């Protein structure tokens, strides 16, 4: 059975490192030498430093004391909370402020303006189709598009043919209910 101690140099090095680690741990937990007397304890600067260190140590020891201190509680009773109105227990933001409407400086006479007339359909009456006695169909042009329709049909998904006359056609815009008369165009 081998213990791994065949290499003497490595074994000695490992033992030295273990001893140093134990020594460092003992030094850390012993208080870092704070209670050790200083070699020049008689000087005034060292005395002041010792007193401030003693006060710090006493304050630390006093703050770890679990007894109830009424003097500290009394001083905190006199303080008043002056918040900004925000509820610290609410996760929602407060509603935004609604601005008040400003009255106009000079009220003027109210004039009701009629809505502007809708734009023209762009359709042109081009001619008739079908028998003279029966239901007439009309040719309508819009740009390069040609439509063939009779009364009641909807053209260009927007314009309804209301009446077909001998020289004109009445077209109603189904979106605005505006009626337009298209005269027979020379074409």
Convert the pLDDT of each residue in 44-90 to its tens digit.
555 655 566 556 555 555 567 778 888 888 888 878 877 777 777 87
Q: Are 139 and 151 in contact (CB under 8 A)?
A: no
**124-183 adopts what CATH topology?**
SH3 type barrels. (2.30.30)
Pairing outcome for strands 168-173 and 179-183: antiparallel
Domain range list for the chain: 124-183
Task: Give SS3 for 21.
Answer: helix
Kindly state the DSSP code that residue 120 receives in the 8-state scheme. P
Contacts of 187 (CB under 8 A, 6+ apart): 124, 126, 127, 141
Q: What is the dihedral of CA 140, 182, 178, 133, to 10 degrees?
A: -70
Cα 175 to Cα 2, 59, 60, 182, distances in angstroms: 101, 86, 85, 18
Convert the pLDDT of each residue in 95-119 to its tens digit.
788 888 887 777 667 777 887 877 8
């Amino acid at each position: 059975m081998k213990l791994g101690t065949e290499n003497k140099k490595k074994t000695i090095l490992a033992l030295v490192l273990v001893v140093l680690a134990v020594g460092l741990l003992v030094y850390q937990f012993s208080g870092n030498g704070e209670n050790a007397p200083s070699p020049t304890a008689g000087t005034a600067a060292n005395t002041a430093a010792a007193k401030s260190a003693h006060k710090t140590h006493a304050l630390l020891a006093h703050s770890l004391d679990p007894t109830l201190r009424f003097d500290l509680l009394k001083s905190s009773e006199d303080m008043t909370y002056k918040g900004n109105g925000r509820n610290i227990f609410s996760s929602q933001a407060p509603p935004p402020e609604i601005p008040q409407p400003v009255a106009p400086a000079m009220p003027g006479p109210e004039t009701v303006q009629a809505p502007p007339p809708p734009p023209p359909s762009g359709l042109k009456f081009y001619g008739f189709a079908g028998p003279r006695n029966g239901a007439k169909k009309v040719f309508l042009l819009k740009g390069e598009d040609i439509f063939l329709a009779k009364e009641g049909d909807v053209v260009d998904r927007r314009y309804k043919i209301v009446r077909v006359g001998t020289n004109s056609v009445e077209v109603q815009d189904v979106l605005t209910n505006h009626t337009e008369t298209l005269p027979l165009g020379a074409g």
